[in-house]
Chains A and B, each alone.
Chain A
Amino acid sequence: MSVLEIKNLHVNVETDQGTREILRGVDLVINEGEIHAIMGPNGSGKSTLAYTIAGHPKYTVVEGEILLDGENVLEMSVDERARAGLFLAMQYPVEIPGVTVTNFLRTAKTAIDGEAPSVRHWVKDVRTAMGNLKMDSAFAERNVNEGFSGGEKKRNEILQLELLKPKFAVLDETDSGLDVDALKIVSEGVNRAKENTGLGILLITHYTRILRYIKPDFVHVFVAGKIAEQGGPELADRLEEEGYDRYQVAETASAE
């Protein structure tokens, strides 16, 4: 039984205006097979949490721990974290000139598994996964994310999620910018990955829309760098009706 634990996480980021504290003590435990939705207004630190878990060099952990099955994730480099079983589906996947999707997927799979996948199974797996995500086979020969539409980029992220089979996935606003058809396709992919591999999911979103298709077990509301409230799926329904205003009011009041 895999578990991802985040304990009292404080994270700073260096900006032109100096050091800013973004995360101010985040505690979170995600077990294998659980879906945790992290919701919150813009600027509350949701993406910082995602990138800190993945190890982006821009973010400095000043206090706290991230443990994957008891192993200290913060001591691992970005690629070591991925090989240990962490995956980040990015909000803005970058273009990689000169590298085809096929080449990229095979290289990543080989890196994660420590050996090259068997050619026959791999080609079939890729084709099936692309078919499930309604991706045209021509994608395979295009350079990673180059000239992809917003929806195509997000599908490409979920394609990797399904093929690389991590233990835990952080989905950073995967729903943003998707029309309803693409949202359904992407959500089905996430649900399939969970079904097939017992994936634990940290679903970061601003909107409740995606929660119609990916049902969270837990909902955490992020405000000003920490969890302001948590509960079950019913909390998302309440957010849909009330928005984030009451947290921001409370935050302003407590700051005075």
Chain B
Amino acid sequence: MTVATQSTAMPTAGQHGLVAHSDGPVVPVQTRSERFRSVDVADFAPVTGREHEWKLSPVAAFADLTSGELDGARLDLETAGAEGVAVEWIARDDARIGTAGTPEERASANAWTNFGEALLIRVTGEDEKIATVTRTGLGATPRAAHTVIEAAPNSRGLVVLGGTGSARLSENVEVIVGEGANLTVVSVQEWDDDAVHLASHFARIGRDAKLKHIVVSLGGKVVRVNPSTHLAEQGGDVEALGLYFSDAGQHLEQQVYVHHDAPNTRSRVTYKGALQGEGARSVWIGDVLIGNAAVGTDSYEQNRNLVLSDGTRADSIPNLEIETGDIAGAGHASATGRFDDEQLFYLMARGITEEEARRLVVRGFLTEIVQQIGVAELEERLTAALEAELQGA
């Protein structure tokens, strides 16, 4: 049977949505995995601050990192190694580079275009081990860096990637977790007050492998660490944790993305932050995409903010996209609460001093994440650093 019907669904010139927006020909990306990506900075339009990935960031504070020339020389490192963790510089054309992810925004692409050699941190062997690599004294020069953290199949290990001193750094960190490996990566930002640090972490999780990824941001003027995890093979597991303390004039941001792309994968995202002081700012965006292939996914993401004073702002945006009906569970939660005068009165009415009351609340709130780090010495140091933040130090 052939019936010629005129479809009423054909678009017409006047149809809503066909005409470009007044601020440019921007077509909203509907699915998180379909965002434009490229390793070449020239493929990205200059940053205006209106882009969805920049709209909550103080883009004027780091125009040099999104559009300027970056110094791609080796960074100064302080390394505390361990047996089974090799740290070395590798050439740009190393086959591992680019296997975990591709930049989705201009600062990331600018770093990719400009880095000279990449730092490789390679974990092998099934024994537990801890290695620390701290970048320090980077100075006022805008820099690009590229790091590859690779866990060999069935290996175990914990890598702390730290930053101290002054810095203007845009970087990419690729995390390649081999089949059956169990890797923890802790990214600790303890920069000086004037530092700007923009980082994109791309993790690819192999079959039955597990990554625990922890972002701790305490110091720096603007710190933006955006970890994305591709659960590319079945049985992959990611635990993405974050901890931040934003004080006066500080902008701490994290855009967390988990892509479930294989059967029976699991993700847990928990970010907790405290804000104190005029202009203290935090941004958390949590995107979870459960793809068509990801049957049996078990996913949960949450962000909690504790506001300790007036004049702060915490943005918290969870997004969940599900393309398959056959999942074990998916959920998200976000809450921003304040520690106010009535809470202070309540604690003090039980004999607790004001100073102790604040410490109690913030410690209680953030300890959940600190305890997950698994390096006693680092946990103690961060607990002390958090208390120093509270004193306004």
Instruction: Give chain A's interface residues, CB within 8 Å of chain B.
Output: 54-57, 77-79, 81-83, 87-88, 90, 93-100, 103-104, 107-108, 111-112, 143, 160, 164
Asked whether, in the complex, the Cβ of B360 is within 8 Å of the Cβ of A57, the reply is no
Q: Which residues of B contact A83 (CB under 8 A)?
A: 351
How many B residues touch the partner, as a band? 20 to 34
Given contacts A98-B361, A99-B360, A103-B360, contact A108 B345 (CB under 8 A): no
B386 interface contact, C-beta 8 A: no
Asked whether, in the complex, the Cβ of B337 is within 8 Å of the Cβ of A107, the reply is no
Q: Closest Cβ of chain B: how far from A178's Cβ, in Å?
A: 20
CB closest chain-B residue, reference A108: B350
B14 interface contact, C-beta 8 A: no
Asked whether, in the complex, the Cβ of A111 is within 8 Å of the Cβ of B362, the reply is no
Interface SS of chain B:
helix
Q: Which residues of B contact A90 (CB under 8 A)?
A: 346, 349
Q: Closest Cβ of chain A: how far from B65's Cβ, in Å?
A: 34
B365 interface contact, C-beta 8 A: yes
B293 interface contact, C-beta 8 A: no
Given contacts A94-B343, A98-B306, A98-B365, contact A82 B351 (CB under 8 A): yes
| B327-350 vs A, Cβ < 8 Å mask (1 yes, 0 no) | 000000000010101110111111
Asked whether, in the complex, the Cβ of B306 is within 8 Å of the Cβ of A111, the reply is no
Asked whether, in the complex, the Cβ of A96 is within 8 Å of the Cβ of B347, the reply is yes
CB closest chain-A residue, reference B352: A111
Given contacts A98-B306, A98-B362, A99-B360, contact A93 B346 (CB under 8 A): yes
Given contacts A57-B341, A103-B364, contact A79 B306 (CB under 8 A): no
User: Can you identify 30 A-B contacts, CB atoms within 8 angstroms?
Assistant: A54-B345, A54-B349, A55-B349, A78-B348, A78-B349, A79-B349, A79-B351, A82-B349, A82-B350, A82-B351, A90-B349, A94-B343, A96-B361, A97-B306, A97-B337, A97-B339, A97-B364, A98-B361, A98-B362, A98-B363, A99-B360, A99-B365, A103-B360, A103-B364, A107-B352, A107-B360, A108-B351, A112-B351, A143-B364, A164-B351
B128 interface contact, C-beta 8 A: no
Q: Which residues of B contact A99 (CB under 8 A)?
A: 360-361, 364-365
CB closest chain-A residue, reference B366: A98
B356 interface contact, C-beta 8 A: yes
Q: Which residues of B contact A55 (CB under 8 A)?
A: 349
Q: Closest Cβ of chain A: how far from B243's Cβ, in Å?
A: 13
Asked whether, in the complex, the Cβ of A98 is within 8 Å of the Cβ of B348, the reply is no
CB closest chain-A residue, reference B344: A78
